[in-house]
Structure 1
Amino acid sequence: MKVIKFGGSSLASAAQLEKVLNIVNSDDDRRFVVVSAPGKRDAKDTKVTDALVKYYKAYIAEKDVTENQNWIIQRYRDIIDELKLGQNILEKITKAIIDLANLPIDNNRFLYDTFLAAGEDNNAKLIAEFFKKNNLNARYINPKEAGIIVTSEPGNARLLPSSYDKLEELRDSDEILIIPGFFGVTADDQICTFSRGGSDITGSIVAAGVKADLYENFTDVDGIFAAHPGIVHKPDSISELTYREMRELAYAGFSVLHDEALIPAYRGKIPLVIKNTNNPSHPGTKIILEHTSHSAPVVGIAGDNDFVSINISKYLMNREVGFGRKVLQILEELNIRWEHIPTGIDDMSIVLRGRELTPIKEQEIISQLTRKLEVDEVEIERDLSIIMIVGENMKSHIGVTSKAAEAFSKKHINLEMISQGSSEVSVMFVIKTEQEKDAIRALYQTFFKAKD
């Protein structure tokens, strides 16, 4: 039994939906289909979700929303007309889009989420109609009916653990269930969206809930590559990753799958495979708990930018009990999340995402560190990138970090920091952002066969 999820690019047009139909039709085990909102048809196009954001902004600003409504409705109409689905489904979608402008604005915490979720919800209805027209025993099912009951946290919904009992009941259905991704429903019937990668999260939740044998995540690439193909020319594709390896790569910039989407499937021990809607015969990349065959020490290289480091120095810091706790308490009081904390005897660096540090918060941190903790020096270092080499087998190979450092040295890339966790699944290097691409290429040439 398989749960299958399609991303926005896979559902952007009637031609893409024909591919989706063929994929679902080709395997009777594909019984649960999680769908995104229609994505871009080409580089100049607009995603339906982005159009809904504009619609929402116009509505709360009390502007005329007719143009916004018409654009979104026309987008669905184009698909419906090409697929010859008739007027009934178009009328349902038209009413749903227009009715958004009748929702209360004041004191409505869930208004934005309700607007955003309309993209997935209406697309699921359209796809169910398309499948039925092509003689599939398919049915649209609302997240509430499915059992996706979530916390009341707009934009950051989390599944209530009790939902899994309801989701498991879906196993008994003899229909192909079409489920809109990206959102759940609260206990008091409010629509509430997941965080980034929301449709991936829905797919993962459904796979865990129904105890699927496999969760197939269809996108527009042939799986996952060992490095970003926009940086490295024709990088190797990865046939198999562990969940821990994927988590590290997703954190450090691999955007194929959001790291939060892995959690339900990981906990449910459900294998996951990334496949290409436009090339479904390609085996893709499988994500599992443990490697089934021997793997190289480094399976992937990832990089991400916009990091900032707060560098603190204080003589005899290591003898001051509670110093680290006091530093982190300052960050907590300012609602700042930290990412990494490399330390020395008399110094500490706190690496943050750049978006966490506003100018006001920066001045407050410097002030409190100076006044309360009497540090000798505090410096804010910007324009940093994190580069990670990832592989479960690194711990059994000597010299991996040495090879990476040598690769950087040959390219005259200065290392600001190095960090490795106790699991030894990854090694993190902090460098200046201007050298990020050169660093990734240097590591790839060291650990993988370079291509012309």
Structure 2
Amino acid sequence: MKVAKFGGSSVADANMLKKVANIIVSDPKRKFIVVSAPGKRNKEDIKVTDLFIELGNNFASGKPIEDAKTNILVRFQTMLENLKLSTELLDEIDESINQVLHNDSLKTNRLDSLKAMGEDTLAKVLSLYLQSLGYDASYVNPKEAGILVSDQPGDAQVLEESYDRLFELNDREGILVIPGFFGYTPDGALMTFPRGGSDITGSIVAAGVKAELYENFTDVDSVYCVNPNIVSNPREIKVLTYKEMRELSYAGFSVFHDEALIPAFKAKIPVCIKNTNNPNQPGTMIVSEREVDPNTPVMGIASDAGFLSIYVSKYLMNREIGFGKNLLQILVDEGISFEHAPSGIDDMSVIIRENQLPIEKEKVVIERIQNELKVDTVTIERGLAMIMLVGEKMNSTPGVASKATTAFENANVNIVMINQGSSEVSMMFGIKEKGLEPAVQSLYEIFFQNLN
């Protein structure tokens, strides 16, 4: 029995939904279907979720909402008409929008309730379409399915009791279509997962129903070892471990949200990434363990821009008990989360995503570090990028770091920071953003270009 999740590009319009339906009914093991909201139909298009966010923001700021609402309704109307389905659902969408906007009890999670409508409506459309084709299909709301989450608008976490409730879905007949991206608190409040959270829902459902396989359908044949926007025709990855995929997802791979695989990982359920437009391709398998080829220790190169570094120096820092804790506590006090914290004897760097430390807050953080920690130096460097090499047991393979530094040298890119730590799965390099593409291209050449 399989759980199949279809991303936004896979459900962007009626033609894509027809492909999705064909994929679902081609394999009777595909019993549980999780869907995203409709994505972009072309490069200039707008995702349905973004239309709902625009609607919510306009309402909150007192701006007109009719254009955004009309765009949403027209999007679903076109889809329903092209699938030759009744348009009665449009009245339900309109009514739901009005209820959410004018319900004062939803002030804290109104935007969550609006954002969730894209997935929720698409699940209803797909179940109706499957029924019109003569199949036994049902829409299942996450509350009905038993997906219970924490009370954190926009950042909900699944509660453990969800899994036992989800398992009971195995007793139901037919194809069950579940909207992704959201669940309900024990008190019945709707909460969304972080953006891209439909992948999280798919993983949660797979773990809950104890699926043999979790299939994640997207718009690529497989996972590539590097961003194809940076390197043309990169090598495909056939098999990855959960750890490798999580590291790659965190560091800029757009296939998965970096939290998405945790439920499947804990339940040891294999994941297969497949292409909705080319479903007969084998795709990429993500598994608990794989055989490691000593000739290919690096499985992927991930990269992301938008980082900064807080550099702190103080003579005899290593003798000062609690220095690192006190430095990070300042960040906690200011509501800033950090990514990495490489350190030396007398100095320490804290790597942060730039959106965590706006320019207007920079002065406060620097003054607190100077006044409270009595440091010799504190500086902030913006415009950094992180490049991560990922591979199981990579760090126990001789020569990986040497090859990497040679690649940076060949690209004439200076390394600002190296963070290897205790992980056997990843090695991270910090550089200036302008060197990102040449560095990645050089790393690809040295680790993958000569492979068969």
Q: TM-score, normalised by structure 2?
A: 0.96
* 1:12 and 2:7 matched: no
1:121 corresponds to: 120
Quote the RMSD (CA, aligned, Å). Answer: 1.6
Aligned with 2:260: secondary structure? helix
**Distance in 2 between the 1:124 and 1:256 partners?**
21
CA distance in 2, matches of 1:68, 1:335: 33
Q: Which residue of 2 is the match for residue 446 of structure 1?
A: 446
Higher mean C-alpha deviation, range 2-11 or range 362-371: 362-371
* Segment drifting more, 182-191 vs 254-263: 182-191
Which residue is 1:203 aligned to?
202
Aligned partner of 1:394 in structure 2 is 394
Summarize deviations over 1:260-293 as a string: whole Å, max 9, x none.
1111111111111111111111111111110156
The answer to whether 1:74 aligns with 2:58 is no
Residues in 2 aligned to 1:67 and 1:141: alpha-carbon distance in whole angstroms: 30
Shift of 1:63: 4.2
Within 2, Cα distance between the matches of 1:347 and 1:431?
Answer: 18
Distance in structure 2 (CA, Å) of the matches to 1:322 and 1:58: 47
Pairwise mapping of residues 16-415 of structure 1 onto structure 2 (< 5 A)? 16-104=16-104, 108-292=107-291, 294=293, 296-415=296-415
Please list the CA deviations of residues 230-260 of structure 1 after superposition, one character each: whole Å capped at 9, or x if unmatched.
0001100101110111111111110110111
Helix, strand or coil for the counterpart of 1:446?
Answer: helix
User: CA offsets per residue over residues 99-146 of structure 1, 9 Å max, x none?
Assistant: 444433x77211111111111111111110000111111000111000
- State whether residues 307 and 353 of structure 2, in contact with CA within 8 Å, keep that contact through their aligned partners in structure 1: yes
- Equivalent AA in structure 1 for residue 132 of structure 2: K
Deviations 1:178-201 (Å, cap 9, x if unpaired)?
Answer: 000110012222211011211001
Aligned mates of 1:406, 1:95 — CA distance in 2: 61
The answer to whether the Cα contact below 8 Å between 1:299 and 1:391 also exists between their aligned partners in 2 is yes
- What secondary structure does 1:216 align onto? strand
> Deviation digits for residues 53-93 of structure 1, max 9, x if unmatched?
12112323344433332221111111111111124444434
Q: How many residues align?
A: 450
Please state whether the residue corresponding to 2:445 is helix, strand or coil: helix
What do the CA deviations read for 1:206-250 (whole angstroms, capped 9, x no partner)? 000001111111111112101000000110010111011111111
In the alignment, the residues of structure 1 paired with residue 60 and residue 355 of structure 2 have an alpha-carbon distance, to the nearest angstrom, of 26
Compare 356-365 and 15-24 and name the one that shifted more: 356-365
Partners of 2:292 and 2:328 in 1: CA distance? 42
SS in 1 for 2:118: helix
Tell me the distance in 1 between the aligned counterparts of 2:14 and 2:106.
39
3-state SS, counterpart of residue 332 of structure 1: helix
For residues 167 and 271 of structure 2, the distance between their equivalents in structure 1, rounded to whole angstroms, comes to 18
Residues 331 and 97 from structure 1, CA distance in 2 versus in 1: closer, same or farther, beyond 3 angstroms?
A: closer
CA pair 379-19 structure 1, distance change in 2 beyond 3 A: same
**Deviant stretches of 4+, over 4 Å:** none
Q: Which runs of 5+ in 1 are unaligned?
A: none
Unaligned runs of 5+ in 2: none
For 2:217 and 2:200, locate their aligned partners in 1 and report how far apart those are by CA, in whole Å.
13
In 1, Cα distance between the equivalents of 2:119 and 2:425? Answer: 36
Q: Contact 2:35–2:123 at 8 Å: present in 1 too?
A: yes
